[in-house]
Amino acid sequence: MDTEVVPTNNSREISAICENVTSSIYIINSRVKSLKSVIDDIGTPKDNQHLRDQIQLWQQEVNQKIKTSSDDVNKLNTLGRSANKQQKLQISKITSHCKDTVEAYFKIQQDVVQKLRFNLLKHPDSFSGFSGNDTNSLLDQEQIQMQKNLEFENQMLMERQQSVKQIEKDIVQLNSVMKELGALVHEQEAAVDTIESRIESAYEDVRMANQELASAAQYQNKSRKRKLLLVLILAIVFSILIGMIVWSVKS
Question: Model confidence over 135-158: pLDDT tens digits?
Answer: 445 456 666 666 666 666 666 666
Side chain identity at 43, as an amino acid letter? G
Closest CA to 66 of 183, 174, 175: 174
Return the minimum-mean-pLDDT range out of 35-39, 66-70, 77-81: 77-81
Q: Do 46 and 115 touch, CB atoms closer than 8 A?
A: no
In which band, very low, low, confident or very high, does the pLDDT at 32 lie, cut at 50, 70 and 90? very high
Q: Which residue has the higher pLDDT, 248 or 82?
A: 82
Most confident of 91-95, 136-140, 169-173: 91-95
Q: How far apart are alpha carbons 3 and 78 in whole angstroms?
A: 30
The yes-or-no verdict on residue 62 having pLDDT over 50 is yes
Number of Cβ atoms within 10 Å of the Cβ of 150: 14
Domains of the chain: 9-122+143-208 (1.20.58.70)
Side chain identity at 161, as an amino acid letter? Q
Q: What is the DSSP letter of 83?
A: S
Q: Which residue has the higher pLDDT, 177 or 54?
A: 54
Q: Do 70 and 177 touch, CB atoms closer than 8 A?
A: yes
Tell me, what's the pLDDT at 35? 92
Tell me, what's the pLDDT at 93? 86
Structure pTM?
0.57
